[in-house]
Amino acid sequence: MPREYLKGKDRIIQDPAIMVGKPAVRGTRIPVDVVLHHLADDLDLDDLFAAFPDLMIDDVKACLAYASATLGRHRVRFGNAEKATGRAAHV
């Protein structure tokens, strides 16, 4: 995890004893990817907080910052898991 770029880095943890080491929101068993998938399906924060009452707005911001920082260091083509060559893809 690129910690130097991550806002709210103290809110996201990776611990092998919690969710098998998946990045998760500190103090919960809520993985970052679950928050992101929920937001991708439904941007309504009220629905997110109803589904995960332990989440705070700063946790959501930290999840988004984590995703942004992680994607920033890996170029991934959407739709498959191949890393890009580092050059911009021509469409």
- Listed by start position, the domains of the chain span 3-73
What does pLDDT average to over the chain?
A: 81
25: enclosing H helix or E strand: strand 24-25
Tokens of 20: 């098998």
Tokens of 89: 């893809």
Band (83; pLDDT cuts 50, 70, 90): very low
**CATH no. for 3-73:** 1.10.10.10
Contacts of 81 (CB under 8 A, 6+ apart): none
Q: What is the pLDDT of residue 5?
A: 42
Tokens of 5: 């770029």
Phi, psi dihedrals of residue 89, rounded to the nearest 5°: -80, 140
Q: What is the pLDDT of residue 77?
A: 53
